[in-house]
Amino acid sequence: MTEEARSQMELLAVALPFLKRYDDQIIVVKYGGHAMGEEEAANRFGRDIALLEQVGVNPVVVHGGGPQINAMLKRLNVQSTFINGLRVTDAQMVDVVEMVLSGAVNKQVADCITRAGALAVGISGKDGGLLRAKKLERTYRDPESNIEKVLDLGFVGEPDNVDPHVLKLLIGADIVPVVAPVGVGADGQTYNINADTAAGAIAGALNASRLLMLTDVPGVLDANKKLIPEMSVAEARAGIAAGWISGGMIPKIETCIYAIEQGVKGAVIVDGRVPHAVLIELFTDGGAGTLIRP
């Protein structure tokens, strides 16, 4: 037996118990950041998702596309306005967002998975009534007047209702759904939804076994900046209250907690910069990030 064959046998032996654990289970993967920024990384992600489908797992991909949106806005000379670091999405901008997310990015992700050997179909949250959205409502305290004001971000939305019927039809036909986080309101208005938030809502509606949130950090770090491999919902909340979970990690943790409260068995903040991070997280003891459990 060659050394390469021996290594492959060892890898298979390690992965086999995990393959049985996730057989016919739904895994929702939020795809974004560095993992989708380079051609080879994108192709590798496509191969990993295709492999999941081929070994009996049911992956659902929800993708972002912030850098691609920024590039298109620049090309079209559309100026962005920010309030408290959040981009205001006006009527012109929401059309660009939908064009980029539901068009170019969505089809590129689906194509990477299909070329790797699985059948993937790109849809948006508007298809089949998947994501019903409502206007995102936030408040902030004006630093000058100290008065709490409503933060109007335009056509930025959040999930109001998730109908997973179209996803279940695709999964039942052995098709990998690739979802662009664009939703529609009760009045027919299109809303841009944060991809993390959309992935959490979809994972909850599907009662997924796992929600994997690909990020550009190793996972959740403790007060000494060391990776926490696993934590409970209570411990995550305590970390936010104590302040050592802060910044952009807070909404990701909150999304994971929401998904778990909706029935997802575990949510993982995964380092998407690590090659084959999805496979490492699912099929090895060590994982590739921080598991948040009930």
CATH number, domain of 265, equals 3.40.1160.10
Residue 136 lies in a domain: yes
Q: What are the residues whose beta carbons fall under 8 Å from the beta carbon of 219, sequence distance 6 or more?
A: 227, 228, 229, 269, 270, 271, 288, 289, 290
Which domain does 59 fall in, by range? 24-293
Residue 8 lies in a domain: no
Residue 4 lies in a domain: no
Tell me the average pLDDT across 251-261: 94
**How does residue 88 score in pLDDT terms, banded at 50, 70 and 90?**
confident
Residue 12 lies in a domain: no
Rounded mean pLDDT of the chain? Answer: 89
Tell me the average pLDDT across 128-141: 88
Specify which residues 183 forms β-bridges with.
Answer: 191
| Helices and strands per DSSP (H, E), number in the chain | 10, 16
Residue 6 lies in a domain: no
pLDDT tens-digit readout, 185-216: 999 999 999 999 999 999 999 999 999 999 88
Whether 24 has a pLDDT exceeding 80, the answer reads: yes
- Report which of 28, 73, 35, 76 is spatially closest to residue 52, judged by C-alpha positions: 28
Residue 170 lies in a domain: yes
Residue 19 lies in a domain: no
- Given this model, what pLDDT does residue 155 score? 92
- Given this model, what pLDDT does residue 131 score? 97
Number of domains in the chain: 1
- Report which of 22, 66, 52 is spatially closest to residue 116, judged by C-alpha positions: 52
The CA distance from 251 to 269, in Å, is: 12
- Given this model, what pLDDT does residue 84 score? 64
SS (H, E, C) 189-202: CEEEECHHHHHHHH
Whether 89 has a pLDDT exceeding 90, the answer reads: no
Greater confidence (82 vs 76) lies with 76
- Given this model, what pLDDT does residue 128 score? 95
Specify which residues 158 forms β-bridges with.
Answer: 134
- Report which of 130, 118, 225 is spatially closest to residue 181, judged by C-alpha positions: 130
Question: pTM to 2 decimals?
Answer: 0.90
Contact indicator for 110, 49 with CB cutoff of 8 Å: no
Residue 9 lies in a domain: no
